[in-house]
Structure 1
Amino acid sequence: MISAQRIALSLALAGSAFAASIQAPNIVLPASAAANRAAVLDIFTESYAAYTKFAFGHDDLNPLSETFVDDRNGWGATIVDAMDTMHIMGLETLFLQAVNFSSTIDFSKSQTPDTVSVFETTIRYLGGLLSAYEQSNFQFPILLQKAKEVGDKLVFAWVGSNDIPFGEIVFATNTPQIATSNIAEAGTLTLEMETLTKYTGNQTYANFALKAVEHIANLPAPLPGLAAQGIDPTSGEFVGGYVTWGGGSDSYFEYLIKHARLSNTNNNLFADTWHTAVDSSIKVLKRTSTVGNHVYLADFDENTILHIGSHLACYNGGNWIMGGKMLNNQTIVDIALELVDACWNTYAGDATGIGPEAFAYISSDGNFTGGDPITPEQLAFYNKHGYYITSSDYIQRPEVLESNFYAFRATGDTKYLDRAASAVRSFNTFLKTPGGFACLNDVNNVTAPLLDAGESFWYAEVLKYLYLTFDDPNHISLDDFVFNTEAHPFIAPPAKAVYGSPNSILTPTGSFQLKQGPPLPAISPNAKLPTPIPVPPLQL
Structure 2
Amino acid sequence: MTPFRHWFLATLAASVVSAEQVQKSCLELPDSAAAHKEAVKDLFVTSYEAYQKYAWGHDDLLPVSESYSDGRNGWGASIADAMSTMLIMNLTEWFEQAVNYTADVDFTISNTSDTVSLFETTIRYVGGFISAYELSEKKYPVLIEKAQDLADQMVYAWVGEQSIPYGFMNFTTHQPTVATSNIAEAGTLTLEWNRLSEYTGNSTYQELAEKSVQHIINSSVPLPGMPAQGINPKTGNPVGGYVTWGGGSDSYFEYLIKYARLTNTDDNSYADAWLTAVDTSMKTLLRTSDVGNWLYLADYDDDKNIRHVGSHLACFYGGNWILGGKLASNDTMVNIGLQLTDACWNTYASTATGIGPEAFAYASNDGNYTGGAGPDPGQFAFYNAHGFYITSSDYILRPEVLESNFYAWRVTGDTKYLDNAASALSSFQDFLPTTVAYTGLNDVNDQGSTQIDDMESFWFAEVLKYLYLTFDDPTHISLDDYVFNTESHPFKAPAAKDTYGSVSPQPVPWQPFSPESTSTAPLPLVSSIPALL
Cα deviation digits, residues 295-318 of structure 1 (max 9, x gap) = 000000121000000000000000
Q: How does 1:492-507 map to 2 (within 5 A)?
A: 492-497=493-498
**Is the CA contact 1:60–1:69 (under 8 Å) kept in the aligned structure 2?**
yes
- Equivalent positions of 1:95-174 (< 5 A) are 95-174=95-174
For residues 176 and 264 of structure 1, the distance between their equivalents in structure 2, rounded to whole angstroms, comes to 33
Q: Aligned equivalents of 1:227 and 1:406: distance in 2?
A: 26
Residues 318 and 499 (structure 1 numbering): CA distance in 2 closer, same or farther, change over 3 Å? farther
In structure 2, what is the equivalent of residue 343 of structure 1? 344
The structural deviation recorded for 1:19 is 4.7
Q: Which moved more, 1:20-29 or 1:361-370?
A: 20-29
CA distance in 1 between partners of 2:18 and 2:496 (Å): 7
Is the CA contact 1:268–1:499 (under 8 Å) kept in the aligned structure 2? no
Change (3 A) 1:195 1:500: farther
SS in 2 for 1:68: strand
Q: Distance in 2 between matches of 1:189 and 1:49?
A: 31
Amino acid in structure 2 at the alignment position of 1:332: M
For 1:234, the equivalent position in structure 2 comes to 234
How far did residue 18 of structure 1 move?
Answer: 4.7
Q: Structure 1's 239 and 501: CA in aligned 2 closer, same or farther, altered over 3 A?
A: farther
Instruction: Call closer, same or farther: CA 1:101–1:380 in 2, change over 3 Å.
Output: same
Alignment of 1:202-217 (within 5 A): 202-217=202-217
| C-alpha distance in structure 1 between counterparts of 2:75 and 2:231, whole Å | 29
Counterpart AA for 1:229: Q
Contact kept? 1:382, 1:388, Cα under 8 Å = yes
CA distance in 1, matches of 2:21, 2:400: 22
CA offset digits 1:153-209 (Å, max 9, x no partner):
111111110000000000112111132000000000000000001111111000000
- Is contact 1:272-1:500 (8 Å) kept? no
CA contact (8 A) 1:59 1:456 kept: yes
The CA distance in 2 between the partners of 1:169 and 1:291, in whole Å, is 46
**CA deviation after TM superposition for structure 1 residue 109, in Å:** 1.1
Distance 1:125 1:276 in 2: 31
1:394 aligns with 2:398: no
Structure 2 counterpart SS, 1:78: helix
Distance 1:401 1:441, change over 3 A: same
2: CA distance, partners of 1:501 / 1:367: 40
User: Match for residue 457 of structure 1?
Assistant: 458
The equivalent of 2:469 in structure 1 is 468
User: 1:392-471 maps to which residues of 2 (within 5 A)?
Assistant: 392-471=393-472
Contact 1:183/1:248 (CA < 8 Å) preserved in 2? Answer: yes
Once the 2 structures are TM-superposed, how far is the Cα of residue 368 of structure 1 from its aligned partner?
A: 0.3
CA–CA separation in structure 2 for the residues paired with 1:158 and 1:65: 40
1:31 is aligned to 31
**Mapped partners of 1:243, 1:277: distance in 2:** 11
Which runs of at least 4 in structure 1 moved beyond 4 Å after TM superposition?
498-504
Paired with 2:293 and 2:415, the residues of 1 have a C-alpha distance of 22
1:495 is displaced (CA, Å) by 1.0
Deviation at 1:291, TM superposition (A): 0.7
Q: How far off is 1:496 after superposition?
A: 2.3
Per-residue displacement from partner, 1:381-434 (whole Å, max 9, x unpaired)? Answer: 000000000000000000000000000000111110000000000001000112
Confirm or deny: 8 A CA contact 2:329 2:503 kept in the other structure. no
| Aligned twin of 2:53 | 53
Letter of the structure 2 residue corresponding to residue 345 of structure 1: N
Mark the CA change 1:18 to 1:210 in structure 2 (over 3 Å): closer, same or farther. closer
Whole-angstrom CA distance in 2 between matches of 1:257 and 1:115 = 30
Q: How far apart are the structure 2 equivalents of 1:98 and 1:499? A: 42
**1:108 Cα deviation (Å)?**
1.4
DSSP-derived class of the 2:176 partner: strand
For the 8 Å contact 2:15–2:501, the answer to whether it is kept is no
Q: Secondary structure at the match of 1:389?
A: strand
Amino acid at match of 1:347: Y
AA at the equivalent of 2:487: E
* CA gap 1:14/1:241 in 2 versus in 1, 3 angstroms: closer
What is the CA–CA distance in structure 2 between the aligned matches of 1:117 and 1:372, rounded to whole Å? 33
| Identity across the alignment (%) | 62
Counterpart of 1:404, as a letter, is: N
- 8 Å contact 2:27–2:474 — kept in the other structure? yes
Q: Are 2:294 and 2:339, in contact at CA under 8 Å, matched by a contact in 1?
A: yes
CA distance in 1, matches of 2:490, 2:433: 27
Q: Distance in 2 between matches of 1:320 and 1:54?
A: 40
SS state of the match for residue 172, structure 2?
coil
Q: Secondary structure at the residue paired with 1:172?
A: coil
Q: Secondary structure at the match of 1:85?
A: helix
Q: How does 1:59-74 map to 2 (within 5 A)?
A: 59-74=59-74
Q: Which sections of structure 1, spanning at least 5 residues, go unmatched? A: 505-513, 517-540
CA contact (8 A) 1:168 1:177 kept: yes
Match of 1:198 in 2: 198
Secondary structure of 1:437's aligned partner:
coil
In structure 2, relative to structure 1, the CA distance for the partners of 1:73 and 1:515 (3 Å cut) is: farther
One-letter amino acid of the structure 2 residue matched with residue 101 of structure 1: Y
Name the residue aligned to 1:188.
188
**Structure 1 residues 18, 236: closer, same or farther in 2, change over 3 A?**
closer
Contact 1:307 1:360 in 2 (8 A): yes
Per the alignment, in what secondary structure is the counterpart of residue 491 of structure 2? strand
Q: Distance in 2 between matches of 1:501 and 1:182?
A: 34
Conserved 8 A contact 1:224-1:280: yes
Q: For the residues of structure 2 that align with 1:500 and 1:374, how far apart are their CA atoms? A: 49
Give the corresponding residue for 2:482. 481
Give 1:270-349 correspondences, 5 Å limit. Answer: 270-301=270-301, 302-349=303-350
TM-superposed deviation, 1:105: 1.1
- Compute the displacement of 1:112 (Å): 1.2
Structure 2's unaligned 5+ residue stretches are: 506-514, 518-533
1:429 to 1:26, Cα distance in 2 relative to 1, 3 A: same
Deviation, 1:436, is 1.2
Contact 2:330–2:504 under 8 Å retained in 1: no
- CA contact under 8 A between 1:290 and 1:386: conserved in structure 2? yes
Q: TM-score, normalised by structure 1?
A: 0.90
Other structure's SS at 1:26 match:
coil
**Alpha-carbon deviations, 1:103-128, whole Å to 9, x = none?**
11111111113300000000000000
Q: TM-score, normalised by structure 2?
A: 0.91
Q: Structure 1: how far apart are the matches of 2:235 and 2:18? A: 41
Deviation at 1:448, TM superposition (A): 1.7
Contact 1:271 1:500 in 2 (8 A): no
Residues paired across the two proteins, number: 499
Task: Name the aligned partner's letter for residue 90 of structure 1.
Answer: N
Which AA in structure 1 matches 2:128?
G
Q: Note if contact 1:84-1:135 (Cα within 8 Å) is conserved in structure 2.
A: yes
Measure, in 2, the Cα distance between the counterparts of 1:95 and 1:457.
17
Q: Distance in 2 between matches of 1:372 and 1:67?
A: 39
SS of alignment partner, residue 436 of structure 1: coil
Deviation of 1:498 after TM superposition, in Å, equals 7.2
Residue 259 (1) aligns with residue 259 (2): yes
Distance 2:504 2:216 in 1: 21
Q: 2:298·2:306 contact (CA, 8 Å) conserved in 1? A: yes
Matched AA of 1:402? E
Would the aligned equivalents of 2:15 and 2:502 in 1 still touch at CA under 8 Å? no
Residue pair 1:64, 1:452 contacting (<8 A) in 2 also: yes
Computed over aligned residues only, the root mean square deviation of the Cα atoms, in angstroms, reads 2.2
Aligned residue for 1:61, secondary structure, equals strand
Q: Which residue identity lines up with residue 268 of structure 1 in the other structure?
A: N
3-state SS of the aligned residue for 2:300? strand
Is the 8 Å Cα contact of residues 18 and 502 (structure 2) preserved in structure 1? Answer: no
Decide whether aligned partners of structure 1 residues 500 and 378 sit closer, same or farther in structure 2, where only a CA change above 3 A counts. Answer: farther
| 1:342 alignment partner AA | A
The SS at the match of 1:432 is coil
